[in-house]
Amino acid sequence: MPERPDRPERPGRPDETARPGPGDRFREDERDERTGRSAAAERIRHQTQWVELQLQRARDRGDFDDLPGYGKPIADLGVEHDPDWWVKRLVEREQITGVLPPALALRKEDAELDARLDRFATEKEVRRELTDFNDRVRRALYGDPGGPPVLTRQRDVDAEVDAWRERLAARRAAAAERAAAVAAERREQQRRRWFRRTG
């Protein structure tokens, strides 16, 4: 390689004239003069070492200590891949509502209806909620909802009110049992304290 008089060659770096141009390709058999190994493999090996060194320094500084999910298991690991996972997570995280097609929104509402009815205290409120739900189902069935077909059925208001009454009675009975158990425990504790004082 001829030396250029106007530019001295830098130690450890090949002359600028030896660099490949835009159309040139690295040759597979190009060797590093110092080690005799493939130059491309040496560059990749050193790049990997550099990346590992940067990661180790960041770990030592604690840059990764306060990341969300640090120290927790990866959610949904081993579950079948869902290509729309990110949309579902966004909807769940941001609590986005009203973007489902009417058929799916009604199906979701139908699944949660009993729990919503149980929050009401009077029969009048329960009947009003059921009537409103049935009206929405009817509009979706006879209108043009777009999207998947509507499979949700209207609810029988009287039957649902009876079921609501039964659930309400069961909740009240369970609450009464819990209150009786708490009262019995208090009486037992008072009795034990009395015996300790007198004994």
38 beta partners: 31
- Quote the Cα angle for 37-40-51, to 5°: 110
As a whole number, the mean pLDDT across the chain is: 79
Which amino acid appears at position 40 of this protein? A
Is residue 59 in a domain?
no
Is residue 174 in a domain?
yes
Provide the 3-class DSSP secondary structure of residue 38.
Answer: strand
Position 122 pLDDT exceeds 50? yes
Query: Is 104 in contact with 98 (CB distance < 8 Å)?
Result: no
Q: How far apart are CA 105 and CA 118, in angstroms?
A: 20
Q: Which of 42-51, 96-105, 169-178 has the lowest mean pLDDT?
A: 96-105
Q: Which of 29-33, 65-69, 86-90, 140-144 has the lowest mean pLDDT?
A: 29-33
> What's the structural domain count of the chain?
1
Is residue 92 in a domain?
no
Position 19 pLDDT exceeds 60? no
Residue 33 gets which letter from DSSP? T
The whole domain housing 157 covers 101-198
